[in-house]
Amino acid sequence: VERDFVRWLRQRLPRIGDDAAVLDWPADRLIVTSDMLMDGTDFELDRCDPQRAGRKALAVNLSDLAAMAARPMAAVVSVALPRSQRLDFAQQFYRGIFRLAEEFQVEVVGGDTNSWSGPLVVSIALLGEASGPGPLCRSGGRPGDDLLVTGQLGGSLLGHHLDFTPRVREALTLHAAYPLHAAIDISDGLSLDLSRLAEESGCGASLDLDQIPISPDAHRLAEQVPGLSALDRALGDGEDFELLLAVPPEVTRRMLDDRLVNIPLTRIGQLIAAPGLWARRSGQEPVPLEPRGYEH
Amino acid sequence: VERDFVRWLRQRLPRIGDDAAVLDWPADRLIVTSDMLMDGTDFELDRCDPQRAGRKALAVNLSDLAAMAARPMAAVVSVALPRSQRLDFAQQFYRGIFRLAEEFQVEVVGGDTNSWSGPLVVSIALLGEASGPGPLCRSGGRPGDDLLVTGQLGGSLLGHHLDFTPRVREALTLHAAYPLHAAIDISDGLSLDLSRLAEESGCGASLDLDQIPISPDAHRLAEQVPGLSALDRALGDGEDFELLLAVPPEVTRRMLDDRLVNIPLTRIGQLIAAPGLWARRSGQEPVPLEPRGYEH
C-alpha cells in the first residue's frame, strides 16, 4: 500500500522529489522540510533516553536541509505526548531538541503540544535558507560525475541512528567551495538513495564496492547477525545520515586533497549515462545491483 | 502535567504566544504555524469520512494564519497512517487536504508519509505571508478596544468542528480595510481565547453576554445535554474557529455598517484596563467570569 500511495502522491505533488522543498517566495531562497517520527518506529522510548529521541527528531530534519546545502533557520515542533508520562519526560524530550537547535543556531519558533493515549509522535518542520549558488538538488547530476560520500556507512542501528551529527556544516562548506552538481542524504540506505539521486538526474550509477567506507558498527552487526555482510549493511542499512554528492570529475581530486571538512570524504563510484544501478569490484566487470533499503 | 509543561515551554520559547510565529527573515513577512491532529482526539475516523479529517487538518492551520491576517502560501504535510487501512483511505484523507488547499490557493510542497500500527496522526506546517500593515498579533489590544467576533459560537461538536470555513478571506479583507489592533482564532473556547488575547495585550476584558452570537448547534446541544446552557456552550465550547478581533472603538460602527464580509460580525464587549475577565447582562453590573475551554 505504502509504495502505491507514494506513487499516487507524487503525481499530485510535483515538487516532491528532493529532501526538502524550495519555495518560490522569496526568490527561491526559502527551503522547508518536515519529518514525523514515531515511538516504536524511529526510536524505542522504553529503551532510549527521551533526550536522544528529541535530538533525533530535529537531526533528521537538519540532515534533509544539509542535502540541499541550506542553512537551517527556524523550526516548529508538534508533539503528541503519551498521557501516561510525567512532566520530566516531556522536558527531557524537548531538551534534546533545544540543545541540538542551539548547536545549529536554529530557533524553535513555535509548534503544537498535545497529549493522548497513544505512543509519542513528533513532527518537526524546519525552515532554511539556500546557500551559495542556490539549493542543491537531487536532479543536478550528470553522466560522468563522481559520487562522493561523507563519513562511514552501515550498522546505524547500534546507536548512530540516534546520535549522528547532521552534515550541515560540511554541506555548506563544500557547496561554497566547489561546483557540486547534486546531493541526497543517506536516510534509507546507500543503494536506495543513490538510485533516487540517479533517477532524478536522468542517469544510472556505478558503485566501486571496494571503495565504500564501511563503519565499524556495520562490521560488528555483520558478526552478530548472520545473513548480511558488512558491505551489505553499508549498501542497504538506513539512517546513516551521511551525504552522497555528485561532483564534476575535474574537481574530485581537489576536494579530496583540500580536506576542507573534518570527516572522511570518499569517492565511491560515478554516474553513468545508462539507467540502472551497477556495482563492480576492482578488476571485474560491473554487475547489476538491486537498490535495497528502507521504504517508508 | 500539560499545563505545567506548557508553562515551562513558554519560558524557553519567547515567540510562542500567537497563533503562528513571525520569522525575522525575510523582514517580518514570513509567518509559520503547525498543528498536529490525532485520530480519537480531533476526529473519529471510525465515524467520519477520512476526507473530512484531512480537510480539518489543513483548516485548523488556515485558521491560525487567519488570526494573524496572513496569506497562506505553502504547506508541508506529515502523516502516520494506520497500517491496517487500505490505499483508498489514505487517498481520501489527502484529497480532503488537497481540495481545501486548492480552495485557499495553498501549494502542498512536501512532507513525510509513514505507516505504523497506531492511529492516524497528521501534522501540517503552513507558511504564509503577512498582509497589509504586517502580522496581526494577540498583543496589540488596548483598553477601550471593542471586541468583535465573526460568525456564531458554540456546539461545534455537532459537525462544525470538521466542516468550518477558516476565516482567511475575512481576515485579509478586514485587515486591509480597518486599523485592527489584535486577533485570535477561537479554537479552545471564546472565554479562554479572549482571556489569552487580553492577557497578551496587558488588559482585561468585559463581555456583553446578551450580545454573544449563539449558534443553532449550541442551542441544539443544550437541549440534548443537560447541564450547560447554549450560552455556556458559546462561551466555552472549543473549535468554533471564528475570529475574535480587538478594534479601536472609533471604527466599530463603520466596520459593522460597511459589511465588507459576508458573515455576521458582532460586537460582544470590550477590552478594559483592569485585568481579568468580566461578564455583564444589559442593565446589570459586571461579574467575574472564569475562562473556560479546551486546554491542550
Distance CA A235, CA A162 (A): 19
With beta carbons less than 8 A apart as the criterion, state whether A32 and B127 touch: yes
In the predicted model, is pLDDT for residue A287 greater than 90? yes
In the predicted model, is pLDDT for residue A81 greater than 70? yes
Distance CA B115, CA A38 (A): 10
Whole-number pLDDT of residue B20: 85
Q: What is the mean pLDDT of chain B?
A: 94
C-alpha Rg value of chain A to the nearest Å: 19
Set of chain A residues whose Cβ sits within 8 Å of the Cβ of B91: 5, 8
**Backbone torsions φ then ψ of A207, nearest 5 degrees:** -100, 135
**Among A85-89, A211-215, B38-42, B268-272, which stretch is predicted with the lowest mean pLDDT?**
A85-89
Report helix, strand or coil for B170.
helix
Mean pLDDT of B12-34: 81
In the predicted model, is pLDDT for residue A99 greater than 80? yes
Q: Which three cell numbers stand for residue B265?
A: 460580525
Count CB atoms within 10 A of the CB of residue A2: 15
Mean pLDDT of B217-242: 96
Count CB atoms within 10 A of the CB of residue B66: 31
- Looking at the complex, report in whole angstroms how far the Cα of residue A35 sits from the nearest Cα belonging to chain B: 5
Whole-number pLDDT of residue A20: 85
C-alpha Rg value of chain B to the nearest Å: 19
With beta carbons less than 8 A apart as the criterion, state whether B160 and B239 touch: yes
| Cross-strand partners of A234 | none
Roughly what angle, to the nearest 10 degrees, separates helices B50-67 and B87-103?
Answer: 30
Cβ-defined contact of A36 to B114 (cutoff 8 Å): yes
Set of chain A residues whose Cβ sits within 8 Å of the Cβ of B18: 110
Whole-number pLDDT of residue B296: 60
Percent of chain A predicted with pLDDT > 90: 85
Mean pLDDT of B172-201: 97
Question: Which three-class secondary structure string do you get for chain A?
Answer: CHHHHHHHHHHHCCCECECCEECCCCCCCEEEEEEEEEECCCECCCCCCHHHHHHHHHHHHHHHHHHCCEEEEEEEEEEEEECCCCHHHHHHHHHHHHHHHHHCCCEEEEEEEEEECCCCEEEEEEEEEECCCCCCCHHHCCCCCEEEEECCECCHHHCHHHHCCCCHHHHHHHHHHCCCCEEEEECCCHHHHHHHHHHHCCCEEEEEHHHCCECHHHHHHHHHCCCCCHHHHHHHCCCCCEEEEEECHHHHHHHHHHCCCCCCEEEEEEEECCCCEEEECCCCCCEECCCCCCCC
Q: Is A115 on the interface with B (CB under 8 A)?
A: yes
Tally of residues, chain B = 296
Distance CA A291, CA A196 (A): 9
Distance CA A214, CA A26 (A): 41
Q: Is B92 on the interface with A (CB under 8 A)?
A: no
Least CB-CB distance to B90: which of A5, A12, A86? A5
| Cross-strand partners of B125 | B34, B76
Q: What is the mean pLDDT of chain A?
A: 94
Whole-number pLDDT of residue A35: 96
Give the pLDDT band of residue B274 (cuts 50, 70, 90): very high
Percent of chain B predicted with pLDDT > 90: 85
Least CB-CB distance to A34: which of B16, B18, B78? B78
Set of chain A residues whose Cβ sits within 8 Å of the Cβ of B101: none
Query: DSSP label at B18?
Result: B
* Cβ-proximal residues to B159 (8 Å cutoff; 6+ apart), any chain: B217
In the predicted model, is pLDDT for residue A15 greater than 70? no
Strand-strand pairing, A265-272 and A146-150: antiparallel
With beta carbons less than 8 A apart as the criterion, state whether B65 and B58 touch: no
Instruction: Report long-range pairs for A284-291 (Cβ below 8 Å, ≥24 apart).
Output: A286/A206, A289/A191, A289/A207, A289/A235, A290/A191, A291/A189, A291/A191, A291/A192, A291/A194, A291/A195
Query: DSSP label at B23?
Result: P
pLDDT in tens, A30-47: 999 999 999 999 999 999
With beta carbons less than 8 A apart as the criterion, state whether B75 and B124 touch: yes
With beta carbons less than 8 A apart as the criterion, state whether A130 and A31 touch: yes
B74: left (phi over 0), alpha (psi -120 to 50) or beta: beta
Distance CA B55, CA B159 (A): 13
| Cross-strand partners of A230 | none
Distance CA B134, CA B154 (A): 30
Strand-strand pairing, A204-208 and A265-272: antiparallel
Which of 116-135 (B) contact A at CB < 8 A? 116-119, 121, 123, 125, 127, 129
Mean pLDDT of B168-184: 98
Give the pLDDT band of residue B258 (cuts 50, 70, 90): very high
In the predicted model, is pLDDT for residue A220 greater than 90? yes
With beta carbons less than 8 A apart as the criterion, state whether B171 and B129 touch: no
In the predicted model, is pLDDT for residue B165 greater than 60? yes
pLDDT in tens, A262-278: 999 999 999 999 999 99
Residue to test with chain B: of A1, A71, A87, most B Cβ within 10 A? A1
Cβ-defined contact of B40 to A116 (cutoff 8 Å): yes
Whole-number pLDDT of residue A257: 97
Least CB-CB distance to B38: which of A18, A20, A116? A116
With beta carbons less than 8 A apart as the criterion, state whether A276 and A204 touch: yes
Q: Which three cell numbers stand for residue A173?
A: 562548506
